[in-house]
A and B are shown apart, each in its own frame.
Chain A
Amino acid sequence: MFAFAVKRILQAVVVMLIISFIGFAIKHNFGDPVRELVGERVTPAERAEIREKLGLNDPFMTQYVRFLGNALHGDLGQSYFYKKSATDVIIKKAPATLELVFCSALIIILLSVPLGIYAAIKPKKWFSRFVMGSSIVGVSMPVFLTAILLIYIFSVELHWLPSFGRGDTVQLFGFWDSGLLTIDGLRHLIMPSIALSSIMLPLFIRLIRSEMMEVLESEYVKYAWAKGIKPRRVWWVHAFKNTLLPVITVGGVQLGIMVAFTILTETVFQWQGMGSMFIESVERSDTSLMVAYLVFVGMVFVLVNTAVDIIYGLVNPTVRVAGRK
């Protein structure tokens, strides 16, 4: 198990290096650090001088190593637009995105598990068919369209829910602006979280259902029936545990899709999180911020995927023992 974990962590480090390399290459080729520091109105002579001072005429690899060193200290460059360190900007915006993702994840887990299992056990009931039918529709609707539709129905027509922004927030720990603790904040969270979960939810329901159905056809489940075990126990103890394993792996991967969708959702709802920050930085050619986002997101992916792999290794006894031997 230990060897397995170490291997996964090493892989994670390699991936991070590659991401940082790509990020740096982008910054190096398309970014303009001089402009980031002092703006546009600078004479060519001053420009050349600053370039020399910043070490911008050094070879590529030296600059890359410098970049890495800075990154490990938390310095990912300066945002041209915000005139602040990129890391600062990200940290300020992160809570908004994280809360959104958290609420969506909650919705997904609380709904997909019971619905998926029910649809697997009793596939012919009309409710199951309804769930499966709407999940195909859900998968076919791009996230931003769901968001727009939600806004149209609940904001423009019914005036029940606010259509943009985060509402009132409360500051925690000195930097975390939370919308979870105010009614207004929660009201603002409803539609974005539903929109964000709308593509993942059907995916998970279908995944759980199909995994469960496959497990229910397996020999050991059949054997459990042959032993006369109570149905509840067969479903939960025998089938569900085995269903979870692949769901965990796939679920971890879906995180990637989640992040892409935060970009879309935040843009629609003008949610001041990292996603909309990224799009703005692209529009403004703020390369430092763009790259900082890339690296940050990359790190989150790698962390989560590694964690998922390790958790899977813990939960699945076959892997555990193999590692031990």
Chain B
Amino acid sequence: MESLINIKNLRVDFELRSGTVRAVRDVSLDINKGERLGIVGESGAGKSVLGFSIINLISKPGKITGGEIFFGGNDISKYSYDKMREIRGNHISMIFQDPMMTLNPVLTVGTQMKETILAHTKMSDKEAEAICLEKLRKVYIPSPEKRLDQYPHEFSGGMRQRIVIAISLLTNPKLIIADEPTTALDVTIQAEIMDLLLELCKTENMGLILITHDLAVVSEVTQRIAVLYAGKVVELGPTEQIISNPQHPYTQGLIKALPQMAGGADRLNQIPGMMPSLREMPTGCPFEPRCEISKEKCKTKIPTLTELETGTQVACFMREEGK
């Protein structure tokens, strides 16, 4: 499998009035061509920041403060603004969470689609329009010709997200980063949109990074999963393995907490405690305060990802030692 993106020891810091907060700590990930990777974690774990940092679009006051991101052989984290612009929307597309906020309310759908193409390739308006129609059909939007002159608020939520997906396809990108693409949609629509994404990735041979907190969605769509906790990857491996045989205590807690796993009991299984605030990170393993199997070592040293026999990588001292 050909490698597409290599993230090495990425660090992202936010300079706040009250001090510097590290949102992404030494994260290393690889994505191959056409591969579908899920990034899973709670709110505040740093998954969106991680996704945005690939195209270096982190909201101020955040910035990349360490590590490299290799794409096509080059470290794009160091790219100038103009060079980055060639990649954004062109080789790597993004899908945001809420399509109502993502599409500009005062511009027609057609304008917003065509401008994406015209920003990266020289072609006539007519040619660009033809491509827009083609992609709108690919996402199964009926009567695409009429849609181009309509405004975003004239569509339902599901349709809007389809339009956003269509926009992301316009330049035949190698990778799509989808940040919680279905969270803002109705449950019934969620399934349709995820199916659509899955189908498109397969037929167009595009890579997909799916950022979500929804384990159910990730288990259906992705081939590999990275579990993020407090800005670190704590488990990484093939989807079936992670779902059926999680190794890291946090991942186990997540799986057990799913309603299906309660097994008809009166109460759901919770992970006690809360994820620590990024400002007050414990020394040592970030999960240690909530962990049932932690020992002294876990309080002072930070575990790194190591490969287990099961084929997954885990950042846990106890698991390393085979406990």
Q: Is the CB of B57 within 8 A of A222?
A: yes
Q: Is the CB of B116 within 8 A of A227?
A: yes
Interface centre among A222, A223, A233, by most chain B C-beta atoms within 10 angstroms, is A223
Q: Residue A54 at the B interface, CB < 8 A?
A: no
Q: Residue B20 at the A interface, CB < 8 A?
A: no
Q: Residue A311 at the B interface, CB < 8 A?
A: no
Q: Is the CB of B104 within 8 A of A229?
A: no
Task: Provide the B143-181 mask, 1 if CB < 8 A to any CB of A, else 0.
Answer: 000000001011000000000000100000000000000
- Select from chain B the residue with minimum beta-carbon distance to A218: B101
- Collect the chain A residues with CB atoms within 8 Å of residue B115's CB: 227, 229, 233, 237
Chain A interface size range: 20 to 34
Cα separation A228 to B171 with both chains bound (whole Å): 11
Checking B55, B85, B86, B102 against A220 with a beta-carbon cut-off of 8 angstroms, the contacting residue is B102
Checking B98, B105, B116, B119 against A318 with a beta-carbon cut-off of 8 angstroms, the contacting residue is B105
Q: Residue B21 at the A interface, CB < 8 A?
A: no
Q: Residue A46 at the B interface, CB < 8 A?
A: no
Given contacts A233-B115, A317-B151, A318-B153, contact A223 B88 (CB under 8 A): no
CB within 8 Å of B: which of A268-325?
A: 316-318, 321
Provide the main secondary structure of the chain A interface.
Answer: helix
Q: Is the CB of A228 within 8 A of B151?
A: no
Q: Residue A242 at the B interface, CB < 8 A?
A: yes
- Segment at the A interface, from B89-97, B126-134, B257-265: B89-97
Q: Residue A225 at the B interface, CB < 8 A?
A: yes
Nearest CB of A to B112, in Å: 8
Q: Residue B189 at the A interface, CB < 8 A?
A: no
Q: Is the CB of B85 within 8 A of A230?
A: yes
- Collect the chain A residues with CB atoms within 8 Å of residue B316's CB: none
Nearest CB of B to A243, in Å: 10
Query: Interface size of B by Cβ–Cβ distance < 8 Å?
Result: 28
Cα separation A225 to B98 with both chains bound (whole Å): 16
Q: Is the CB of B55 within 8 A of A242?
A: no
Q: Is the CB of A317 within 8 A of B102?
A: no
Cα separation A44 to B103 with both chains bound (whole Å): 76
Cα separation A224 to B107 with both chains bound (whole Å): 12
- Collect the chain B residues with CB atoms within 8 Å of residue A157's CB: none
- Collect the chain B residues with CB atoms within 8 Å of residue A316's CB: 106
- Collect the chain B residues with CB atoms within 8 Å of residue A230's CB: 85, 119
Q: Residue B256 at the A interface, CB < 8 A?
A: no
Checking B89, B104, B107 against A226 with a beta-carbon cut-off of 8 angstroms, the contacting residue is B89
Q: Residue B8 at the A interface, CB < 8 A?
A: no
Given contacts A317-B151, A321-B151, contact A226 B57 (CB under 8 A): yes
Interface centre among A227, A229, A317, A318, by most chain B C-beta atoms within 10 angstroms, is A227
Q: Is the CB of B167 within 8 A of A227?
A: yes
Q: Is the CB of B103 within 8 A of A220?
A: yes
Q: Residue A66 at the B interface, CB < 8 A?
A: no
Cα separation A230 to B88 with both chains bound (whole Å): 11
- Collect the chain B residues with CB atoms within 8 Å of residue A220's CB: 101-105
Nearest CB of A to B214, in Å: 20
Q: Is the CB of B153 within 8 A of A229?
A: no
- Collect the chain A residues with CB atoms within 8 Å of residue B93's CB: 226-227
Cα separation A225 to B56 with both chains bound (whole Å): 10
**Nearest 10 pairs between A and B by C-beta?**
A228-B89, A227-B89, A219-B101, A228-B88, A220-B104, A226-B94, A223-B102, A227-B116, A228-B85, A317-B151
Besides A225-B88, A229-B115, 11 other A-B contacts (C-beta < 8 A):
A220-B104, A223-B94, A223-B96, A223-B103, A226-B93, A227-B89, A227-B93, A228-B116, A228-B120, A238-B104, A245-B106
B residues touching A (Cβ–Cβ < 8 Å)?
55, 57, 59, 85-90, 93-94, 96, 98, 101-107, 115-116, 119-120, 151, 153-154, 167
Listed by A's residue number, 16 A-B pairs whose Cβ atoms lie within 8 Å are A218-B101, A219-B101, A220-B101, A220-B103, A220-B105, A223-B94, A226-B55, A226-B57, A226-B93, A227-B88, A228-B116, A229-B119, A242-B106, A318-B105, A318-B153, A321-B153
